[in-house]
Amino acid sequence: MPTLYHSPNSRSSRVIAQLILMGKLDEVEVVFVDIPRQDGGGRLDPRNLHPEGKVPYLLTDEGHGVRESAAIMMYLDELFGQPLSPKIGAPQRGAYLSWMAYAGGVLEPVLVAAFSGLDHPAMTNTFRSMTEVCNALETALSDAPYLLGDDLSLADILLASPFQWAPHLMPDNPVLQAWVKRVGAAQDSEAILAYETKAMEQFS
């Protein structure tokens, strides 16, 4: 059974949301660990096997470590039959892989720069800004409810998640706001909240 190192109300919450949506949460062992938080709380947890003490972190059945949200989510999706992604070789597979890479390669650096007030040519020349990110998402959503068309995919769960757990980062863009709301409604929000609330009790 794979082991997921998870801290509630963090980036790893999107992996929990994925497992709940797939109905596979009971097929992954979840180890609750603490992490340093933006507000100064939390700590590095010696139980966490992630090399930098981050979450999520996945240990496979064979004992291999998988790091980074996109890689972990794709691994679990493929492990359980790809219910939330285009099959390998399908026409939308390239777009799906592009969005999964875009999440960590562009979206998160731009969001970090935005909320930290970092404004430097090296950042904007490399990653661009929220303007370009919003344009890219809005273009993809211009004629479809989700990034790959009519069906929710891992790409939606991954890219919408920062705006779900940090609503203050949400752009003033009706198309993106409606998409994030749609992605949330497509998931079992009550089950996710109940799970995360119970997990938080371990750190109170």
Model pLDDT, residue 115? 86
Model pLDDT, residue 204? 64
How many domains does the structure of the chain reveal? 2
Say if CB 190 and CB 122 are below 8 A apart: no
CATH number at 127 reads: 1.20.1050.10
73-96, pLDDT tens digit by residue?
A: 999 999 999 999 999 999 999 999
Task: Answer yes or no: do 77 and 103 share one domain.
Answer: no
CATH number at 80 reads: 3.40.30.10
Strand partners, 4: 30, 58
Task: Answer yes or no: do 11 and 35 share one domain.
Answer: yes
Q: Is the CA virtual torsion 12, 14, 17, 19 positive or negative?
A: negative
62-77, pLDDT tens digit by residue?
A: 999 999 999 999 999 9
16-39, pLDDT tens digit by residue?
A: 999 999 999 999 999 999 999 878
Task: Answer yes or no: do 60 and 136 share one domain.
Answer: no
Task: Provide CB contacts within 8 A for 82, sequence distance 6+.
Answer: 88
Give the residue numbers spanning the domain of 99: 93-186
